[in-house]
Amino acid sequence: MQRGNHTVTEFILLGFTRDPVMQLVLFVVFLIMYVLTVAGNTSLIVLICNDSRLHTPMYFFIGNLSFLDLWLSCVYIPKILMTCISDDKSISFAGCLAQFFFSAGLDYTECYLLAAMAYDRYVAISKPLLYSQAMPIKLCVFLVVASYLGGFINSSVITKKTFSFDFCKENIIDDFFCDLLPLVKLACGRKEGYQALMYFLLSSNVITPIALILASYLFIIATILRIRSTQGRLKAFSTCSSHLVSVTLYYGSILYIYSRPQTSYTFDTDKIVSTFYTVVFPMLNPLIYSLRNKDVKEALNKLLK
């Protein structure tokens, strides 16, 4: 791709370390995490599809979250494994663009999907007897489709803007994938408009879903406080605990990286934090939604028998 007097055909991903021993250790660690991610999310999807008791709006969203995490892990981990065991750390310009587009689209989609799941929990707690009527399958499908549309429309905008820059400096990316901040660091030219776009996308894809989640949980707390029995309150709160853990892990790591001023960026620290929403979070989600879930355990026992 021609950029003024400079042609950028590929980027170099530095990864986590240049130590061959540590690269081998990281390869084993990420391979194990990849296997657990694929096995865990695939198993959860199979359980939800196989057991009719799990054909409810809550598990419909959980199944879609597992599918999203499965796809997300395939965007990141295979390339991480290749950079760990291969001397070739390069990624083509087209490959970098594709990884950037899909990673941004899936991450934004997950932000919206977690907000939709918060609304689902609000309806389940505030209207338990009318839950199925208040959350019909058409509404659930609409929320999932809208999450994907919102995520990938925003991803198209930020991808087009990012890769329209002149990369006239070096082509070395100090990260393990083609992320926004390292690419912007390599870009030349005026970036004021780009920073305004970044703040808009941050507010629309992160701040707005967080506001919706907080609003849902304020209504949930108000509903729980009206429940007279302590056991009833604990039961109502337990239905939200898994989602709260997911929201905290996912949004916490994203806000840490993208909501700080540029002068405070430290790529070594950010690489570690980035692994939480790119690698660790997709692996943990099946455990978060199954370990304390009686219905999922019963479905697993039924399937094994």
The per-residue pLDDT for range 152-196, each reduced to its tens digit, is: 999 998 898 888 877 776 788 888 888 887 887 787 766 666 777
| Confidence (pLDDT) at 63 | 92
Q: How far apart (Å, rounded) are the C-alpha atoms in residues 182 and 174?
A: 6
How many CB atoms sit inside 10 A of residue 71's CB? Answer: 15
| Confidence (pLDDT) at 1 | 41
| Confidence (pLDDT) at 2 | 42
Q: How far apart (Å, rounded) are the C-alpha atoms in residues 22 and 117?
A: 39
Q: How far apart (Å, rounded) are the C-alpha atoms in residues 131 and 169?
A: 56
Amino acid found at 248: T
Our measurement of the distance from residue 71's CA atom to the centroid of its chain's CA atoms, rounded to an integer in Å, reads 10
Stretches in the chain below the pLDDT threshold 70: 1-7, 169, 189-193, 258-268, 291-292
Cross-sheet strand order for the sheet of 10-13: 90-92, 10-13, 172-173
* 3-state SS track over 216-253: HHHHHHHHHHCCCCHHHHHHHHHHHHHHHHHHHHHHHH
| Confidence (pLDDT) at 189 | 67
Q: What is the radius of gyration, based on Cα positions, of the chain? A: 21
Look up the CATH number of the domain holding residue 171.
1.20.1070.10
How many CB atoms sit inside 10 A of residue 172's CB? Answer: 13
Under 8 Å CB-to-CB from 219, ≥6 apart: which residues?
A: 122, 126
Q: How far apart (Å, rounded) are the C-alpha atoms in residues 65 and 58?
A: 11
Q: In which domain, by residue range, is 144 found? A: 2-304
| 238-267: pLDDT as tens digits | 778 888 888 888 888 877 776 665 555 555
pTM above 0.85, yes or no: yes
Amino acid found at 98: A
Closest to 206 (Cα-Cα) out of 160, 158, 159, 254 = 254
Number of domains comprising the chain:
1
**CB 197 within 8 Å of CB 33:** no
How many CB atoms sit inside 10 A of residue 58's CB? Answer: 23
